[in-house]
Amino acid sequence: MVDKVLGRMEVLRGFIQIPTKSRNDLIGDMLTPCKTLVNGEAAKIDNYGRLWSRFLKGKFPIGSRVQLLKTKEGFQIELVKNASNDVVSMIKTQTKTELSNTPKAEKTLDYLLNLTVRRERKPYSKVIQAKPHTPVYMMHKFWARRPHNVFAELIAHPSEPGDIVLDPFCGGGVTVVEALRLRRKVVGIDLNPLATYVTEMEVSQLNVDNFWQGFWEIKKKVEPELSGLYRASCPKCHSKMAVFDWVEWEGEKPTRMKLICPNCGIQTKEDAEEDVALSKRIEENFEKIVSQRQLWYPKTAIPKGDKTEGIIKDGYTHFWQLFTRRNLLALSILYKEISMINDNDVRKFLAFAFSSSLKWASKQSHLRGEIVEGWAMHAYWLYPKTLEINVWNTFFRRCIAVARGKKYSNENIGIHYRKAQSFKDFLDSKGTCLLLTQSSTNLPIPDESVDLIVTDPPYGGNVNYGELADYWMIWHNKDEVVDKTQEIIINKNQRKGLTEYEEGLTQVFKECHRVLKSGGNMVVTFNSRKLHVVASFVIAATRAGFVLHPEGLLYQPPIRAYTTTVHAMQVGAFTGDFIFTFNKTTQLTLDKFPVEIELKNFKEHIDGLIKNHMSERITEPELRERAYRILIPFLALHSRSAITACREAVNYFESQIKRLEPNFKKLRRQIIEERRKAFLIKNSMKKSLTVLS
């Protein structure tokens, strides 16, 4: 008999690696590869001492301790029952292993490039394949993060180590993280407190061992109680000690559930009606428990906004209503215990993991096929079938994500991050990173002191960051929502339209122009399917004094792995970014041709694209991309002297697009049908191959 702790790949692929020292006892003189049985099910042993069986695939949770016993018929495997009660306590070993397997720090671009050569002011012109996010960006939700490797190139190309980089809309922290990784000094500014909070946690150092000690301290205190909130009956052995990881609800009725049984491992069941009693009991006793335990949770009313109107109309008037009572109770208990941790750094990062868990803790979670999806939309939205996800299991998974992220940032940034209190600390070499939660319309930075600006501003009303951040900030700021007064956005509830949006961007870009050194570049990524929004952005930059470089417009495709998001997966969605390189120069480019001639040429070009769009199957985003390449330089060149002509060009294009909307819909339907047929053929071929094998 052999004791064995199951690793991640063993559970996922369905095998057990027999330890070398035990092979003589368990395999003996058997000639491998050979067929055998496991718990009466078909199995085989390969040449590497691995015992394979479909029976084993997903049978036991990762990190489970099992006993492997040789029998006359083959092998018997049993779970060591006292090793753990649920999945959380069974994967400590997995955590350490996976963290140790995080890839070593990548060599920075400056190491790979010749640092003795002064960086060029010429725009970066190479389209590169956008890579998925590194672990540091996987720690916490933030919207519309741009590809890290693209931003790293945009920073490295025109600057040197030690240069000062500014991002006036730092958002999810990509510019800040990559600038520090490349050994620049960096200023990150954002009006949204969630943005600067997440960014600071991304770059701050953390002793990961101390972090895990804090986690296990919390686990001892609350895990048994929290797991008790999610008890369920196993459909196989009928044990009442199973714990569900998630349950899907359709109204008041549970439809299916995934659970972990101490006897049978991971199980699913379609009808979870018998488990409703516990949920009702928690609901009835919720207020009493909160009062007796002196627990706290946010009681903030949901402010009326463009992205909250829908749920308010559906009767959700307060944020707490977005959670089940069970999850709200679990969050309240966990919140209180984290606040009592003595070590300041450990407490901060456990609170960060808690904050990260909120994405999966509300009724906005759902199943997308078989994929468990947290809150994924750029709006508050509850699906017809909602998902209640175990808070403790989620918190543990987010702790793993935080530990991975900090291991990555410790290796790639480490002691290079020194928090600055003001810009003066840069000049005195006291700091390398200044993060400010304020509007960028009034920068506390001296004139001509920044070497490079890299940023990704808000795209009109595409993402209403302030409204969405309220969901998190009410937990951080004890019921306070985000002040959106100075937010640069298009939002009818804030009474901010295109004019206010353009004026706000102009003020920020004027400040950027002031603080940027002469000859310096402002590199901006931008993406909107609404040309009026793109035009306002270009006009704002040029009116602020910037000049679009003649080669300063590049289209960058998106991260392929993230084109399956709700916003990007639709046929007709405008994915990817245009990368603009503006320069601070005193030599303004003069109009080469009269604006009337260029406007006429632009209209003729658009007419030609429209004429051919159906025969060439040009979709709306493809047509926009081609048109933008012509129109954007036109706007940048003429917005100072011929704003009326610029507006006319924009209106002409949008009116033509609107006229073609029926054709675009027809083309979308054709493409969707072709994709559906291709999917069915591919699926059919897979099934045929499975049968043959």
Regarding whether 276 and 237 lie in a shared domain, the answer is: yes
Residue 376 lies in a domain: yes
Strand partners for 259: 244, 267
Q: Which of 598, 618, 507, 527 is nearest to 568 (CA)?
A: 527
Together in a domain, 369 and 447: no
214 within some domain: no
Q: Rounded to an integer, what distance in angstroms lies between the CA atom of residue 218 and that of residue 342? A: 12
Distance CA 199, CA 171 (A): 8
Q: What is 30-69 written as a DSSP string?
A: PPSSEEEEETTEEEEE-TTSEEE-GGGTTTS-TT-EEEEE
CB atoms within 10 A of CB 51: 23
DSSP string spanning 181-225? HTT-EEEEE-S-HHHHHHHHHHHS---HHHHHHHHHHHHHHHHHH
Q: Can you tell me the mean pLDDT for 263-292?
A: 89
pLDDT band at 91 (very low <50, low <70, confident <90, very high): very low
Bond from prior residue into 594 cis (ω within 30 degrees of 0): no
Choose the most confident range, by mean pLDDT, from 539-543, 632-636, 637-641: 539-543
Whole-number Å distance between alpha carbons of 251 and 254: 8
Residue (of 565, 576, 512, 502) closest to 533 by Cα position: 502
pLDDT, residue 349, reads: 98
Q: Which domain holds residue 678?
A: 590-693
Report the 10 Å Cβ neighbour count for 21. Answer: 8
Same domain, yes or no: 449 and 558: yes
Q: Quick one: 289 and 343 in the same domain?
A: yes
Residue 691 pLDDT level (bands cut at 50, 70, 90): low
CB-based burial label for 661 (10 Å; 0-12, 13-18, 19+): exposed
Residue 113 belongs to some domain of the structure: no
- 393 shares its domain with 488: no
Highest-confidence range of 69-73, 405-409, 679-683, by mean pLDDT? 405-409
Q: How confident is the model at residue 569 (pLDDT cuts 50, 70, 90)?
A: very low
Residues 299 and 381 in one domain: yes
Instruction: Output the pLDDT for position 692.
Output: 61
Cβ neighbours of residue 612 under 8 Å, at least 6 residues apart?
618
Locus of tokens 């002031």: 514
**Residue listed under structure tokens 């995934």:** 258
Kindly indicate the confidence band of residue 101, based on its pLDDT and cuts at 50, 70 and 90: very low
pLDDT, tens digit (0-9, with 9 covering 90-100), for 17-38: 888 778 777 887 777 888 888 8
- Whether 594 is in a domain gets the answer yes
Question: Each residue of 103-158: pLDDT tens digit?
Answer: 343 344 544 444 333 455 678 777 888 888 999 999 999 998 889 999 999 999 89
658 is a domain residue = yes
Residue 216 lies inside a defined structural domain of this protein:
no
- Per-residue tokens: 91: 């994967």
The DSSP bridge partners found for residue 333 are none
- pLDDT grade for 575, boundaries at 50, 70 and 90: low
Spatial distance between the Cα atoms of 179 and 453, rounded to a whole number of angstroms: 11
Average of per-residue pLDDT across 654-673? 81
pLDDT-derived band at 614, boundaries 50, 70, 90: low
Lowest mean pLDDT segment, chosen from 218-222, 362-366, 689-693: 689-693
Write out pLDDT tens, residues 640-652: 888 999 999 999 9
Contact yes or no for 534/528 (Cβ under 8 A): yes
Phi, psi of 249 (to 5 degrees): -115, 140
**End residue of a domain, out of 547, 563, 589:** 589
Among 55, 81, 107, the domain-final residue is 81
Residue 97 falls within a domain, yes or no? no
Q: What is the CATH number of the domain that holds 132?
A: 3.40.50.150
Q: Quick check: is 126 in a domain?
A: yes
Asked if the model's pLDDT at residue 350 lies above 90, the reply is yes
Beta strand pairing call for 75-79 and 41-45 = unpaired
Q: State the average pLDDT over residues 234-238.
A: 90
Residue ending a domain, choose from 553, 570, 589? 589
Record the tokens describing residue 411, joined without a space.
């290796």
Mean pLDDT computed over 195-205: 97
Max avg pLDDT among 16-25, 273-282, 403-412, 650-659: 403-412
Neighbours of 251 (CB within 10 A): 9
Structure tokens at 273: 């009606």
Please compute the mean of the pLDDT values over residues 288-312 and round it to a whole number: 95
Neighbouring CB atoms inside 10 A of 592's CB total 8
The percent of residues above 90 in pLDDT, for the chain, comes to 55
Q: Are residues 563 and 607 in the same domain?
A: no
Q: Between these two residues, 189 and 26, which has the higher pLDDT value?
A: 189
Whether residue 615 is found in the same domain as residue 690: yes
Task: Domain count for the chain, please give it.
Answer: 4
Report whether 190 contacts 437 (CB < 8 A): yes
Q: What is the pairing mode between strands 516-526 and 450-455?
A: parallel
One domain for residues 266 and 386 = yes
Q: Does 163 share its domain with 265?
A: no
Paired strand residues for 2 = 68
Q: Are residues 251 and 393 in the same domain?
A: yes
Lowest mean pLDDT among 97-111, 278-292, 447-461, 652-666: 97-111
pLDDT average, residue stretch 394-413: 96
Q: What is the DSSP string of 587-621?
A: SPPPPSS-HHHHHHHHHHHHHHHHHHTTTTT--HH
pLDDT greater at residue 321 or residue 675: 321
Secondary structure (3-state) at 342: coil
Going by pLDDT thresholds of 50, 70 and 90, the confidence category of residue 586 is: low
Whether 257 and 248 have beta carbons less than 8 Å apart is answered as: yes
Same domain, 396 and 434: no
Model confidence at 690, in pLDDT bands (50, 70, 90)? low
> Quick one: average pLDDT of 396-408?
96
**Cβ–Cβ under 8 Å, residues 357 and 391:** yes
Give the model's pLDDT for residue 682. Answer: 76
How much is the mean pLDDT over the chain?
A: 86
